[in-house]
Amino acid sequence: MLPTLADIRASIAQLEDRHRRNGVVLSGRILHVCHSLPVTCTLDVDKDTSSSSSKWKLGPRYGHAAMISGIRSLSATHEQIIVGWTGDIESTEGEKKEVGELTEEHKSELNEILFKGGKEDDVHEAHDEDHHHTGYVAVWMPSPVAHGYYDGYCKQILWPLFHYLLWQDVATEYASADSHYPHYEAANSAFARRIAEIYQPGDLIWVHDYHLLLLPNLIRELLPDAVVGLFVHTPFPSSEVFRCLPRRKEILDGMLGANLICFQNYSYTRHFVSTCIRVCGYESHLNGRGIENPSSSHVTAVSYCPVGIDAERVARDVLRPGIKPKFDALKTLYQGKKIIVGRDKLDVVKGVLQKLRAFEKMLQMYPEWVGRVVMIQVTSPSLADSPKLERQVSELVAHINGTYGSLDFIPCHHYHQTLKKDEFYALLSVADLAVITPLRDGMNTTSMEFVIAQERTKRSPSVLSELMGVMGILGPKGALWVNPWDLHTVASAMHRALLMPEAEKAIRHTYLHDVVTTRTSHMWANVLTEMLLQQMSPSVHGKNDANATGVPGKKGIPYLDIARLRKWYDAASTLAPSPSISSQLIRPRAKPTRLFFFDYDGTLAPIVKVPSAAVPSEQALNALNNLCKDERNLVYIISGRDADFLDQHLGSVGTADGGRGLGFSAEHGGFVKEPRNGTDASPSPWRNFTSKLDMSWMSEVYEVFRYYTERTTGSHIEVKKSSITWHYRGADPEWGQFQCRQCQDLLENNVAHKRPIEVLVGKKNLEVRPIAVNKGEIVKRLVYKHPEVEFIFCAGDDKTDEDMFRALRHNNGGKIEFIMEAPLSVTLVDDGDEEEQASQNSHHNTSSDPKYAPMKIHLAPEAVFTVAVGHSSKRTLASWHVTSPAEVVGAVEGLLGMTNFEEAFSQREE
């Protein structure tokens, strides 16, 4: 059973109450950003006075009734602000006023009237007195920008594309896909600036439809803390259609600035996610319900929530007194005949031509209907009116009437006009069948209004296109669903509907009526509000917050607190007690007292398609060099890379002036290279941690990987000394992931259980390695060998780095002082190594047995900083997060005082 509107509102109230208790700022306002305001603005200038006093008149702007009614329903619980373009300013003289012709006084007067909600002109429907205020905020744009963006890019490029047509398919002359893009960009920027002017902390922002797809990211740039939702009312095409758009990346990146993107149904959601993955190569998260933009490391949740209609308002409208006379007139005019009704915009995507051909096909297939059925097709003018299409419709109607009509019978009646409300509902009420078969449509409200109009009359059936978004709401049990291109099937469905028994009509109508009156526009608006609130967590908003998240119901990983990091870093540098840290944490110490562990790919350098291209940046090298200058810092790169790569690109870091340089762990712990021992020491040798392990399994795994490489174009095998990895980043994303799962299943069920190995799924790769050799064991080894440590910083980005986080998380069990047993990476590798044992015996141990003695370690849990690179919604054992490799470098620079952390972050972003 579906929740009621009252249930959803109660859930919203509970969410808001929980957020406020947890410190989330909520203003109680919702900003709805639409292409245009739901009112028209007319300027009445009094020429008889010297003061040129003016008076603005507001009138209703028709269209988008479902969306506006849903927005207004939220005034029961929230203050509403609708932000939109004013539309063309009309004057009482019948002329359009350019924005540049209006004085600042004119604009100020209109802004004041709009923010009051236009109550003086009775534009609003009556609300209860206890409802919250609904006001309007105007976006002012020069006419060339406004019309270039709307009439140009929106209607000539995006509207056809989202309905599976390309711009040249609908253009009457040569069309450039980019000619109006500057206007689209300028208009979206104007909206962003206007929102920034009126925004208050805690506002929820909902951006509506394809006119404003760049806006979410523009808002994110101006208001990083804002919670932004984007609802796309149109269909979203498949990736192969969207791929044709020249500005595809800009559009997708603009959309991904939102916290949440919603579509009309699941198919559109699936198309969007697939487009981000296949066209732009972005990563999906949350089991396909989220997309990460690698340039910002922001994860956007993706979902769907279909729009309904305001069922109560429509039910009232069908009872208007002016409807019955028109209903009776139509019934008398077509007495003895079945009436088929269709109402569509005269737009190529509405399928009017195909519908008329299907009607002709029915008369041809079932000649008994000639003289017994009429079709009334109303086409309302659209912005993209095509004289060619209008001519084709008129010619087809004349052809049908000429072929099947007579002096006393006209089978097809076409009216190209906008119907008044009484005429529209009279037509829907009198119909024996509604045929609504667009070639592609988002949420067609006429199909739902027809159900309510029929409640008190005939309960007639409807034939609907399966290519409409409304199919997800109305379901298969109510209407007769057809492929609008299949004329034979549509004709047969019309015939079947006209002969449908009354009992079947009643069953189908009851089902549809229950759906339409339950899934209303009010329900839609409240569910959107609930979904957007679920994207928030305690102390959300901004990169310095402790709990930013993008997962509904999940507390996010805290963003790295640079002040706290610096405090514990400084505390580990002094021999005397620090006033900022409890004296019990300070004791005389030997060097080094700080350990740094960095993964490489995705942590110090961005992930790239070609692994050899992931070279460290100058900023990263500089930061590591400066980190190594302090002898109290011991810095290790713990990577999946091989030893040659690490030596080539990082081997000389920190070795100038006799510095000890970096320590390395290659191939996920398979090989280790210690830092230099003295100022004049030569580089330490690489030690093979797998030399005492059985590595015969590698040939068997290689054959499995070779099998899948042959069958997965774009994949390749990387063989290292201690592990073997299958990469599929260059393969088709979905096929590569499918093959990865198959390969993983084969290895785990047929190889891994017989061998001392483990199978790891990474970012676009599958790795097999010895079970006793991993990054976590290396971290344990280093902590064990440096028991004087009092500060640890560990950063990584993928699943293999979770071993490090796990090792550090479970080491001390939350205690400041604890005993650490020798890990496998010590007992296995150092067995028989006299030099290593002698070195270890020089440290503090708690046993008379000199071999692998337990070590006493004095390390505060708060001084261990495990940092995951990625979004706060990431599933990880780390205690902190940053969003990109650039921020890891920025954190190190900020820690060393090389630059302000916020400045370092902004520079990396640029």
Q: 374-384: per-residue pLDDT in tens? A: 999 999 887 65
Q: Poorest-confidence range of 240-244, 393-397, 829-833, 888-892? A: 829-833
Instruction: Check whether 870 has a pLDDT greater than 70.
Output: yes
DSSP H or E segment with residue 434: strand 433-436
Per-residue confidence (pLDDT) for residue 638, from 0 to 100? 94
Q: 488-540: per-residue pLDDT in tens? A: 999 999 999 999 999 999 999 999 999 999 999 999 999 999 999 998 754 33
Instruction: Check whether 233 has a pLDDT greater than 90.
Output: yes
Per-residue confidence (pLDDT) for residue 810, from 0 to 100? 63
Residue position matching structure tokens 């569910």: 527
Instruction: Check whether 231 has a pLDDT greater than 90.
Output: yes
**How far, in Å, CA of 246 to CA of 153, rounded?**
12
Instruction: Check whether 441 has a pLDDT greater than 60.
Output: yes
Instruction: Check whether 905 has a pLDDT greater than 60.
Output: no
Mean pLDDT along residues 90-116: 82
Percent of the chain with pLDDT over 90: 50
- Residue of higher predicted confidence among 777 and 92: 777
- Residue of higher predicted confidence among 830 and 641: 641
Q: How confident is the model at residue 908 (pLDDT cuts 50, 70, 90)?
A: very low
Mean pLDDT along residues 146-163: 92
Per-residue confidence (pLDDT) for residue 48, from 0 to 100? 52
Per-residue confidence (pLDDT) for residue 556, from 0 to 100? 62
Q: How far is CA 206 from CA 71, 260, 528, 555, 599, in A?
A: 10, 9, 9, 23, 38
**How far, in Å, CA of 312 to CA of 66, rounded?**
12
Instruction: Check whether 50 has a pLDDT greater than 90.
Output: no
- The mean predicted confidence, pLDDT, of the chain is 84
DSSP H or E segment with residue 345: strand 338-345
Do residues 123 and 59 make contact, with C-beta atoms less than 8 angstroms apart?
A: yes
- Residue 215, Ramachandran bin (φ over 0: left; ψ between -120 and 50: alpha; else beta): alpha
Percent of the chain with pLDDT over 70: 86
Q: How confident is the model at residue 426 (pLDDT cuts 50, 70, 90)?
A: very high
Instruction: Check whether 547 has a pLDDT greater than 50.
Output: no
Instruction: Enumerate the β-bridge partners of residue 468.
Output: 441
Q: How confident is the model at residue 733 (pLDDT cuts 50, 70, 90)?
A: confident
- Residue of higher predicted confidence among 720 and 716: 716
Mean pLDDT along residues 853-861: 86
Q: 188-226: per-residue pLDDT in tens? A: 999 999 999 999 999 999 999 999 999 999 999 899 889
Q: How confident is the model at residue 737 (pLDDT cuts 50, 70, 90)?
A: confident
Per-residue confidence (pLDDT) for residue 883, from 0 to 100? 83
Residue ranges of alpha helices (H) inside 375-470 are: 387-404, 421-430, 446-453
Per-residue confidence (pLDDT) for residue 120, from 0 to 100? 39
- Residue of higher predicted confidence among 608 and 312: 312
Whole-model pTM: value is 0.76
**How far, in Å, CA of 609 to CA of 850, rounded?**
49
Strand 765-770's sheet: what is its strand order?
A: 716-719, 724-727, 765-770, 757-762
- Residue of higher predicted confidence among 466 and 95: 466
Q: 594-629: per-residue pLDDT in tens? A: 999 999 998 999 887 777 788 899 999 999 999 988
Mean pLDDT along residues 139-153: 92
- Residue of higher predicted confidence among 895 and 679: 895
Residues 6+ apart with CB under 8 A from 79: 28, 29, 30, 132, 133, 134, 135
Per-residue confidence (pLDDT) for residue 725, from 0 to 100? 92
**How far, in Å, CA of 204 to CA of 32, rounded?**
9
Instruction: Check whether 31 has a pLDDT greater than 90.
Output: yes
Mean pLDDT along residues 97-122: 76
Instruction: Check whether 407 has a pLDDT greater than 70.
Output: yes
- Residue 64, Ramachandran bin (φ over 0: left; ψ between -120 and 50: alpha; else beta): left
Q: How confident is the model at residue 716 (pLDDT cuts 50, 70, 90)?
A: very high
